[in-house]
Amino acid sequence: MSTALELAENLQCAHLKALQPYQSARRLFSGGQDWLNANESPFSNDFTVNCDTLNRYPDCQPKAVISAYAGYANVGTEQVLVSRGADEGIELLIRAFCQPGQDRILICPPTYGMYAISAETFQIGVETAPLQTDFSLNLNHVLDYVGKVKLVFICSPNNPTGTEINEQQLKTVLDAYKDSALVVVDEAYIEFAQSSGCADWLAEYPNLVVLRTLSKAFALAGIRCGFTLAAPEIIQVLYKVIAPYPLPEPVAQIAAQALCAEGLKRVENQISQLRQWRQALLKSLENISQLTPVGDTQANFVLVRADKKQALMDHLVSQGILIRDQSKQLHLDHCLRISIGNEEQNQRLIAAITAFYQQEGQ
Ligand SMILES: *Cc1c(COP(=O)(O)O)cnc(C)c1O
């Protein structure tokens, strides 16, 4: 009789053997009081759930959620797909448009890790066109892959650099790939940015796909709800691979409440509060000579290059403050990413960093 370990080793797909599960912020650390490591919102809002229909399967694409998000994003309802977070949107695109063992995607590191992880899980190759040192696209390099990849993932504002991709560059990429690939613009942080994103371009660019989420600005990471915006014909293809009931009924109810007029007003206020905290935090970080802000702050986090990065991380963990190490990413040696917390959390963070460098300086 085989042991479970032997079965796990012998039966799992060959391409999965070398893969590690995604190191989400939540998997890396579980304790702590100040969670500034997953770009979550510091706000938590109240919702009500009506349990009358929990004995029934939910709608695959709940109408109230779809029409509310279409209204919010100013697109047609047939251009919206709702899924378990934007992460599921990434996975559905890969499963629907890439042939395992044959097709490839293009990513532009340093960037969000899930594009490559999702691709590898389905045996899809990953090509890279690294961002330049100022974190703009290296257009020549991106265009080298025309005809060689099926999906191009561009994150704007980019996680973890907080930089936006210039509109002209994006349009050049969309044009270059117009007959051969979908260009997926991940706008998980668009509500915090200066620009309003590129959902408005959907009519003009049939190969554009926009990813959105309720996890960041809407302060709803816990419900797992994201959106894929694309031409109706592209959305129809995604229907072929999405689960029959991707969205639990309570999630649909909460999402619909978050997207009603009152919910949107509340989120708008929270975003402007967060922008103020972001400004204040950035200023405090800039005043610490051992830290250098890197990239931009178009999202709800700040990236800094830190002296004694590892000792600083360890000190913060000992104080119950969790931030995210990004130093293994391209161009980001010694870099740490700090999500914007509330005023008290940001103050505790600054006090802890200041104390650390004072003690180190002695
Ligand atoms: C957080 C994040 C996501 C995931 O969003 P979910 O809706 O929580 O799955 C997608 N893209 C980027 C760039 C993110 O930072």
List, for residues 50-98, the tens digit of each pLDDT value.
Answer: 999 999 999 999 999 999 999 999 999 999 999 999 999 999 999 999 9
Residue 5 lies in a domain: no
Question: What was the pLDDT predicted at 362?
Answer: 64
- Over residues 317-345, the pLDDT tens digits come to 999 999 999 999 999 999 999 999 999 99
Residue 78 lies in a domain: yes
Ligand 1 center to 196 CA (angstroms): 18
Question: What was the pLDDT predicted at 25?
Answer: 66
Total structural domains within the chain = 2
Ligand 1 center to 232 CA (angstroms): 23
Q: Are residues 237 and 302 in the same domain?
A: no
Protein residue whose Cα sits closest to atom 2 of ligand 1: 188
Query: Which of 242, 259, 276 is the last residue in one of the domains?
Result: 259
> CATH number, domain at 109?
3.40.640.10
Q: Are residues 228 and 139 in the same domain?
A: yes
Ligand 1 center to 254 CA (angstroms): 18
- Over residues 182-214, the pLDDT tens digits come to 999 999 999 999 999 999 999 999 999 999 999
Mean pLDDT of the chain: 96
Locate the ligand 1 atom nearest the alpha carbon of residue 88 and give its number. Answer: 9
Residue type at 126? Answer: V
Among 107, 155, 184, 213, the mutation site with the greatest number of ligand 1 atoms within 8 A of its Cβ is: 213
Residue range 35-55: average pLDDT? 96
Q: Are residues 148 and 294 in the same domain?
A: no
- Over residues 96-149, the pLDDT tens digits come to 999 999 999 999 999 999 999 999 999 999 999 999 999 999 999 999 999 999
- For residue 230, is pLDDT > 70? yes
Name the one residue in this structure whose structure tokens are 């973890």. 160
Write out the residue range of the structural domain in which residue 305 sits. Answer: 22-39+263-361
Ligand 1 center to 213 CA (angstroms): 7
Locate the ligand 1 atom nearest the alpha carbon of residue 213 and give its number. Answer: 7
Ligand 1 center to 118 CA (angstroms): 13
Burial call 5-14: b when 16+ CB within 10 Å, e when fewer: eeeeeeeeee
Residue 47 lies in a domain: no
Q: Are residues 165 and 278 in the same domain?
A: no
Alpha carbons 177 and 202: distance in angstroms, whole number:
15
Alpha carbons 184 and 278: distance in angstroms, whole number:
27
Protein residue whose Cα sits closest to atom 14 of ligand 1: 188
Locate the ligand 1 atom nearest the alpha carbon of residue 38 and give its number. Answer: 1
Q: Are residues 338 and 297 in the same domain?
A: yes
Query: Which of 205, 233, 259 is the last residue in one of the domains?
Result: 259
Q: Are residues 229 and 174 in the same domain?
A: yes
- Over residues 266-321, the pLDDT tens digits come to 999 999 999 999 999 999 999 999 999 999 999 999 999 999 999 999 999 999 99
Residues with Cβ < 8 Å from 135, sequence gap 6 or more? 110, 158, 161, 163, 295, 296, 331
Residues with Cβ < 8 Å from 127, sequence gap 6 or more? 104, 105, 106, 107, 145, 148, 149
β-bridge mates for residue 322, sequence order: 35
Q: Note whether 181 and 314 are within 8 A (CB).
A: no
> CATH number, domain at 278?
3.90.1150.10
Ligand 1 center to 128 CA (angstroms): 20
- Over residues 15-33, the pLDDT tens digits come to 998 888 877 766 666 677 8
Q: Are residues 247 and 312 in the same domain?
A: no
Six token digits for residue 152: 């191009």
Question: What was the pLDDT predicted at 27?
Answer: 65
Question: What was the pLDDT predicted at 6?
Answer: 96
Locate the ligand 1 atom nearest the alpha carbon of residue 112 and give its number. Answer: 13
Q: Are residues 298 and 208 in the same domain?
A: no
List helix spans (H) across 134-248.
139-143, 167-176, 232-239
Q: Are residues 117 and 192 in the same domain?
A: yes
Ligand 1 center to 138 CA (angstroms): 23
Ligand 1 binding pocket, CB closer than 6 Å: 39, 85-87, 112, 155, 159, 186, 188, 213, 215, 221, 226
Among 69, 108, 114, 324, the mutation site with the greatest number of ligand 1 atoms within 8 A of its Cβ is: 114
Q: Are residues 294 and 225 in the same domain?
A: no
Q: Are residues 274 and 356 in the same domain?
A: yes
Locate the ligand 1 atom nearest the alpha carbon of residue 214 and give its number. Answer: 7
Question: What was the pLDDT predicted at 20?
Answer: 83
Q: Are residues 286 and 251 in the same domain?
A: no
Ligand 1 center to 226 CA (angstroms): 8
